[in-house]
Amino acid sequence: MSGSHAHGAGISSNKMWFATAITFAFCLGEALIGYKSNSLALMADAGHNFADSLALALSAFALWVATKPADNKRTFGYHRVGILAALVNAVGLAVMAVVIFWEAIQRLQTPEHVQSTPMIWVALLAIILNSGIAWWLASAAKEDLNIRSAYLHMLGDAAASLGVVIAGIIIAFTSWFIADPIVSIIFALLVLWSSWSIFTESIQMLLEGIPVGMELNQVEQAIREVKGVLDVHDLHVWTVSSGLIACNCHILVAEQSVSAAQKIQAEVAHELEHDYKISHSTIQIEVEDCGGHDHTTQSDHEHEHKHAH
């Protein structure tokens, strides 16, 4: 069955492209100043800003692709492109963190002179830029894993820039140049931590696992509690993409008219949508006969609930 599914993240791809351009322009200037001031922390922050611009560009592309309608080959549309974008972003963050960590270890062994003033001022500008974009993405990040991956990129870099400011202040007052690689190591660990949840959740979605935070036994119990449902089996719940959850199951009901059974079916679909945000449910009804055997009285009955995500 095909149909289009609008993703209501509230962020357009054009706005994401604009944020990408601003971030990319800033990272070029930050990298240049970091190189001239010999600050690994500042250059690492510029590298993360560059990764941020790539993450934003990838997210913008995914948002655009997700607007393409479903077709005969992709009946759920192109929403999973966003999950792939989130996975790539998470892997990119991890790789960058490892590189920064390695460079910082080298500098711990051989500390180098660092100019603190450029570190402080450029990092302050980075905090303002990244915090602003992160704030702009915050509300949409709650509902969309793709945007959340970009959001964590920006939030992580704002935190890293704060670390650069602190390192710059320490160096300015104490000439303790080792503060630069120490901040870089902390930054690398922060990046790894922020990327892990995105990585695991995107893998969970690609493996068609149950949504994070949802318990299958609770869903089954909710179906059993619907009046008229005697039993439920062959229950499957999976995530198509952020905000798009699907379910199919068989429910057993007492022998009754088709219209009465369909009312039970509709109530089950309503409960799934209301309590668990399952917007696509395929529910097959099986009727218990007088001999205690059950048989299917209707072929697959599908309830599909579309709303803007």
Task: Quote the pTM value.
Answer: 0.61
Q: Residue 77's pLDDT is what?
A: 67
Tell me the C-alpha distance between 212 and 220, whole Å. 16
Side-chain-facing half-sphere of 269: CA atoms under 13 Å: 20
Question: In CATH terms, is domain 13-206 a member of 1.20.1510.10?
Answer: yes
Q: What is the largest CA-CA distance in the chain?
A: 88
Instruction: Please give the average pLDDT of every successive group of 10 residues along the chain, which has 309 residues.
Output: 42 73 83 79 72 74 72 68 79 80 80 76 85 82 74 76 82 83 79 78 82 87 92 88 82 89 91 87 81 48 44
- CATH number for the 216-304 domain, one of 3.30.70.1350, 3.40.50.2000, 3.30.2130.10, 3.40.50.800? 3.30.70.1350
Q: Residue 56's pLDDT is what?
A: 78
278-288 and 244-254 as β-strands: parallel, antiparallel, unpaired?
parallel
Q: Which amino acid is at 109?
A: Q
Q: Residue 161's pLDDT is what?
A: 77
Same fold, 13-206 and 216-304: no
203-225 CB burial, b ≥16 within 10 A, e <16: ebbeeeebbeeeeeeebeebbee
Q: Residue 75's pLDDT is what?
A: 64
Sequence ranges of the domains in the chain: 13-206, 216-304
Torsion sign across C-alpha atoms 174, 179, 183, 189: negative
Q: Residue 208's pLDDT is what?
A: 77
